[in-house]
Every structure is written in C-alpha cells, then in structure tokens.
Chains A and B, each alone.
Chain A
Amino acid sequence: MTTIADPKAPRPSRPGPTRRSTHGNTEMVAWLFMRVSGVILVVLIFGHLFVNLVQGEGINAIDFGFVAGKWASPFWQVWDLLMLWLAMIHGANGVRTIISDYAEKDSTRIVLKSLLYVATVVVIVLGTLVIFTFDPCPPNSPTDLLPSFCER
C-alpha cells in the first residue's frame, strides 16, 4: 500500500533563497530616477539635435571648430556633461533591470552586471575628462580648422 503525504502537515519553507529585505529605497530611487532623467533627457537631446543639426547652417556647420567653439562655453560644457551622465546612468540602469529580468543564473548575472558597470564607469569618466580638458586651440594645427577665437 502506498502512503501519501499528510496534506495538513506543515509545509517546508519555499525553495531558493528567502526574500531579502533591502532596507532603504534603492529600487524606488532607481525607478524614480528613470522617470525624472527621461524627461530631462528629452529636453537635452532634442536641444542638442536642434542646435547641432538644424540651427543656422545646419549639419554643414559641424566641424572641429564648431565643436571646439561649443565646448569653450561653460553653458555647453554643463549641457553636455548633464547629457552624458544622465544618459549613461539611465541607459545602464535600464540594462541592469533587463539583466535582472532575464539572466536566471547567478554567475551569468554577476558577469553581465560587472561588464555593464565597468563599461559605464569607463565611458562616464572618459567623457567627463574630455569635456573639461578639451583644448580648442591645439598648437601647430591649420588655422582654417580652428574656432575663430584662437590666436594665430
């Protein structure tokens, strides 16, 4: 005769790690950041596209001198810095949630997330460095390519 398990016996606890409480609002802050940065990015990116591609001579105006001239102004330095940081963190957080949703194995998740974080930090640091250390008038370059304010 086969015996069956007592249906009223206390159940074993759930398989897998129990739910960890995260104490703090990391996920809420991340969720909120996505919304807020998204709205700001719409303004920043469309402003960027308009100034670079539409205004004045449009796309034909873009050359070394144009970019160098923009980055000589603190306004565009802050604009591009904000765009870089917000877009990178927004994008990285989006990919982080996708990895959390789809990578089932812990090892896969750790590898993918490490790659993501390293790539994000490298791009943010490099980009910030370029915006603030950019030399609009490199010595010994043809003067017709440089912005107008460079001394000959």
Chain B
Amino acid sequence: MTATAEAPAPEVGAVPSFEVTLKIRRFLPSDDAIPTFGEPFEAEPRWDEFRVTVHGTDRVLDALHKIKWEHDGSLTFRRSCAHGICGSDAMRINGRNRLACKTLLKDLDPSKPIVVEPIKGLPVVKDLVVDMEPFFASYREIMPFLITTGTEPTKERLQSPQQRERFDDTTKCILCAACTSSCPVFWTDGQYFGPAAIVNAHRFIFDSRDEGGAQRLEILNDKEGVWRCRTTFNCTEACPRGIEVTKAIQEVKRAMITRAF
C-alpha cells in the first residue's frame, strides 16, 4: 500500500517549477542628466532580495522580468532580443559575467540566492544598467570597418574558405562587454582598450580583404594597447559566444612582433 496511487501522476512533458531567491545590486547614483521619476538618489548601492517562482526552463532574464513586472517596477536592466544575439543583458551573475538570457536558473544552484550585479569597470547608470560609452569609444578607436585602397572592384571581393577561416572566431563578437568588464586590468585602468576592442581589431587585421592592418596594429601598440594584457583568461571564460579571446589577443601581439623584426 503506497501513496503513489493517490498522488496525481505528473503531466507528461510538464516543466517542474521551483522557488528561487535573487539578490540584486540596486543603485541610483546622483546625476542631473538622468530623470528619476520621483525615486530618490542614493549615495551607496544596496542589495535587494526577491523570491519568485520559476520554471525549470526559465533563464535569469525571465526571473528579472517576473520581478520587474510583478514585484518592483523600478528594477532597471537592459535587454533587447532576449536570445543571446543583441548583447544587451551582460551582467555579473554569481560572480561571473554572463548573458542573463543565456543562463538557466536551474544551472545556478537555486538553493542559494542568485547574486546579480552590473558588469564591473563601467559607471553604473541605474541598477544593472552601465554606461557603455567608454567601451564603445575603445571599439571605435580600432576602426571597425573595412579599409581598402585603389579602385573599387565591380564585383564582390573574393576570399577563399581558408582565408575566411583565419578570422572566423572573432566575427562572432556581439559587443556585450562581458569580456572587457571581466578584465582585471580594465577594472583598475579604464584607459586599457580591453579584450572586445582587440577582438574586433583582430577580425579586420587577419581579413585578407582588409588593408588597414598596419594602422590597427599601430593603434594597439599603444601603452594602453595589447601589451597590458596579462593573459589571465578571464575574457575567454566570460565570452558568451565562446570566442577564444585571449588567443586572439596573443595573435595580435605576435603579428606586432613579427612586423617589428
């Protein structure tokens, strides 16, 4: 005699649901340029905890949505496509930089509070939203566009599969800043170009159609360029697209050395 016969059999294909606590870093720094809509400015960041019921298929982003829509509408974060392509929702989840839309809650040990912070090294605008301008300034500096000389060909610029393969890895970048904001050198020195800018320079330096490689190498040979990389591999671990970031940086270093000697 068992109780199993009386318990309703779980529906086939049903997704289990569970409770999870999210510990979110909240901050609204004083800045005249940002409207507050009645919320008071804060001198210090604070931690807010929310307990929500989620499903086994839910991601951190779904939990954040649930909090914003059902618990506290003032919680602020960025997201656009919500499917790991736009790169808007990079944040520090349980101490690691990840995309909230690609991180399943069930993979994060839901028995403990899940800690969500803004990415480090960039000024916080509000809660999980940071000012990405320093990041994009570095990106613009490496000239992320095709540079060619001579007359434009009448058909497309041809390239062999092998030539395309050379920089395939670095074309995957979605500019989410997970790598740059995981870099300890970038944390202490915001002048460092950061992994993302170097990855995007790599994408053009090793493109057979591009002729601006020398200029880009010259830019990255700067005091705050590739030589500040300490090969800690934080960027490779953080990249939600699986780009071998540190390897790309090393390849740029090697290109500089072989160019100089």
Which residues of chain B are near A2, meaning CB under 8 Å?
35-37
- A5 close to B (CB within 8 Å): yes
B214 CB to nearest A CB, Å: 14
A27-B221, A31-B253 as given contacts; A101 in contact with B230, CB under 8 Å: yes
Chain B: number of interface residues, binned into ranges? 20 to 34
- A128 close to B (CB within 8 Å): no
Partner of B190, one of A16, A31, A101: A16
Complex: chain A residue closest to B191, CB-CB: A19
- B188 close to A (CB within 8 Å): yes
- B33 close to A (CB within 8 Å): yes
SS of A interface (majority): loop
Q: A75 CA to B144 CA in the complex, in Å?
A: 54
Q: A14 CA to B34 CA in the complex, in Å?
A: 18
- Find out whether the CB atom of A102 lies under 8 angstroms from the CB atom of B133: no
Which residues of chain A are near B185, meaning CB under 8 Å?
101
Q: A30 CA to B185 CA in the complex, in Å?
A: 17
Chain A: number of interface residues, binned into ranges? 20 to 34
- B69 close to A (CB within 8 Å): no
A14-B137, A19-B224, A22-B223 as given contacts; A101 in contact with B184, CB under 8 Å: yes
- Find out whether the CB atom of B221 lies under 8 angstroms from the CB atom of A28: yes
- B14 close to A (CB within 8 Å): no
Q: A26 CA to B134 CA in the complex, in Å?
A: 25
A20-58 with Cβ < 8 A to chain B = 20-22, 25-28, 30-32
- Find out whether the CB atom of A28 lies under 8 angstroms from the CB atom of B256: yes
Q: A28 CA to B260 CA in the complex, in Å?
A: 9
Q: Which 5 A-B pairs have the closest CB atoms?
A: A27-B227, A22-B223, A5-B33, A4-B35, A2-B35
| A positions within 8 Å CB-CB of B | 2, 4-5, 11, 14, 16-17, 19-22, 25-28, 30-32, 97, 100-102, 104
